[in-house]
Amino acid sequence: MDTSFIKGVIPPIVTPTDAQERVNEPVQRQIVEHIITGGIHGILAMGSNGEFYGLDPEQQERATRIIVDQAAGRVPVYFGIGNITTRECVAWAKKAAAMKVDAISVLHPMFIGPNDDEMYRHFKTVAEATDLPVLLYNNPDRMRCGISAGLLERLSEVPNIVGVKESSGDMTLTAEFIRRTRNKGKDFKVIAGRDILILSTLAYGGVGTVASSANIVPELVVSIYDKFMAGDLAGALEAQYQLAPMRMAYGLSSFPVVTKDYMRLLGFDMGEPILPNTRSTPEVMTALQQHLDSLGAKKLV
């Protein structure tokens, strides 16, 4: 299985919506062009910042097909699966190939808090339902469970489980993920899921990042990766420092409202956050604009 394409900067693309919380197709296509022009290396459809949890299944599929069509093979497209039950995840895994995506990302089941054995069976069953490469998604802060280093090591032996998006924010765990999977007879990929830890993950042996900030300032996020790959560690570190204040401002509103608000400030017609979330306050919007101005973020003409 060729997994050489799994690397670099992969934005979890935001989903613009209309008043009925349906995908706004022209704007979705516009965002795809914005991030590809910014130099990104892949696109994750239906990630957390894509508000997958608030879209009907048909809208999730519609958004993904639009993204695949607009990307037109220029960059790989990943599809995020975040359902709770194994049954639902298997159904999406089987449907993913028909949507012409290049790989899938599977989040551990939220809310119910399964143990390691239950999660092992879950992920293995989902992976066996598809021939696509599978990236696991570890995000314990927003769930009642997480992927342990021991569980990841077991799962790395499943043939088409080829990597993990690591969003715990715990560099000790990230380091263990990389150490335990590096000699498994395949090029297992560990990808940073925290925009603040892109450089540290790369330095330890990771291969890239799924970074929501790459929706907003793709060139800056890509520069962290490109400079690191070119051996310019000082330049990569400076770019990581430049990104940090803008990314830290995500905590000023309910997750993931700020991503959409930043895009709105850049001139994209994003629609409203999916309820119950609402837009940031005027005071927060002012702070977000200041961050964009400090970075010289490109606005729509």
At position 92, the amino acid (one-letter code) is: W
Q: Are 270 and 260 spatial neighbours (Cβ–Cβ below 8 Å)?
A: yes
Using a CB cutoff of 8 Å and minimum separation of 24, what contacts does 253-260 make? Answer: 253/279, 253/280, 253/281, 253/284, 254/278, 255/48, 255/142, 256/48, 256/49, 256/51, 256/212, 258/284, 258/288, 259/14, 259/49, 259/212, 259/215, 259/216, 260/14
Residues found in the chain: 301
Tally helices (H) and strands (E) across the chain: 11, 8
Would you name the residues annotated as active-site residues?
Answer: 137, 165
CA 190 to chain centre: 13
